[in-house]
Amino acid sequence: MSTNQKTIKSEVSLSGVGLHTGNPVTMTFKPASENHGISFVRVDLEGLPKIEASAEYVVNTQRGTNLEKRGVKINTSEHVLAAVTSLDIDNIIIEMNAAEPPIMDGSSIHFIEALEKAEIVEQNKKRDEFIVKEIISYKDDETGSEIILMPSDEYQITTMVNFGTKVLGTQNATLYSLKDFKNEIAAARTFSFLHELETLLDHNLIKGGDLNNAIIYVDKEISDETMAKLKKAFKKENISITPNGILDNLTLRWPNEAARHKLLDVIGDLTLVGTKIRGKVIANKPGHKVNTVFAKKLQKIIKHEKRNNVPKFDLSKPPLMDVNKIMSILPHRPPFLLIDRILELSDTHVVGMKNVTINEPFFVGHFPEAPVMPGVLQIEAMAQCGGILVLSSVPDPENYLTYFMKMDNVRFKQKVLPGDTLIFKAELISPIRRGICHMQACGYANNKLVVEADLMAQIVKKDKK
């Protein structure tokens, strides 16, 4: 699997009807920039509202994984998301002129084929990947459904289902590599039992369903009343039951097509984690509810790990830049020079360090009886690290000044006290253009994240006098 992010080269559209609403819908896949992620855009609504494919927006898992953000909905998202993930796509915009994607044949294969026509291309930015180091699990005690995630060299999924019926008993399916998804899983269609179908019809759902886009397993005797309902719903004069207990004349693509489709759903639902996963998933009796609850749990674990991913450096080694070298680049001078060393520097990131001592001038007036480093100065120190990063992009940094343009998402997590060693890391969010540097910066002390912010600064040539 590539370590770089991917998107599609050109846009491509599909049209059909939503499974439950029966509404006509056109869905268009469009390329997206690096770090954009996967998002849905409702082009039929004012303002073209966007919903990111994130577990935090899951509001309902009845008959599909349904998202909602600020009142805007996307329903039954899982089949589309499974296709995107299986093709190793990181960044994509999915435009829709209705709330529900087209059901097509009830599988992901048509989405796969469309995305392949759009051509998948590699981008320059490295992708984030969650590497599973220990077993993570979740169990729904009410249903017995359970998901386990364990270490593995690549993303693998096994599903085990047991529906407790004669027509569809115990089934298993395994995907050893996403490269095999198209041939082994993508064409597995959604399915339902006859008793569920009756309930859906009674609630005026599956308006877009027919006997070609869903497998219906007959798990009960069909009464004349039920048969009449089915004929009316599917606009057919005759409906029969095959010897293997399937409604009408639909032929299974695999004997374990139901388990394969459950695997498809797991991939689609876990896409909502928002990060590529390197690990093996074992899902026993999976369903959209347990899948998405696990996705939310995993999302929190990954977020916590990222926040506490403290850079490790050997501070006994000679620094890349000492304070004298720093002063030859930055215009700042004591007492407002707030970094002591530069430990790493590349075209896209910088790591700096500051030893916080009781002799800092700001401690004289800032809580002198309980000295705490002011948060604004922590931001300033990170910005000075960023100044080194942006000034290193010009051949004569001594002739430039760096000015703040913007700061966003500023958060202070822990107090910084005398005796602490602060490590700052700033990474470019986008390439430096016209002297403008947009970066994500974090500060660490005592193996904890203490401050983070998105910073934007610009270098400007000094006025000649």
Give me the active site residues, please: 288, 366
Longest dimension (CA), the chain: 96
Residues composing the chain: 465
Rounded distance between C-alpha atoms, residue 49 and residue 194, angstroms: 37
Domain boundaries, the chain: 4-189+256-307, 323-461
Q: Is residue 22 scored above 80 in pLDDT? A: no
> What is the DSSP code string of 322-357?
-HHHHHTT----TTS----EEEEE-SSEEEEEEE--
Query: Contact at 8 Å (CB) between 279 and 150?
Result: yes
- pLDDT tier at 82, thresholds 50, 70, 90: very high
Give per-residue pLDDT as tens, 271-298: 999 999 999 999 999 999 999 999 999 9
pLDDT of 435 reads 82
Q: Is residue 1 scored above 50 in pLDDT? A: no
pTM of the predicted structure, to 2 decimals: 0.70
**Topology annotation, domain 323-461:** Thiol Ester Dehydrase; Chain A (3.10.129)
- pLDDT tier at 430, thresholds 50, 70, 90: confident
Q: Which CATH number is 4-189+256-307 given?
A: 3.30.230.20
> Given this chain, do its domains 4-189+256-307 and 323-461 carry the same CATH topology?
no
> What is the DSSP code string of 233-279?
HHT-S---B-TTSBBTTPPPSSTTHHHHHHHHHHHHHHGGG-SEEES
pLDDT of 316 reads 86
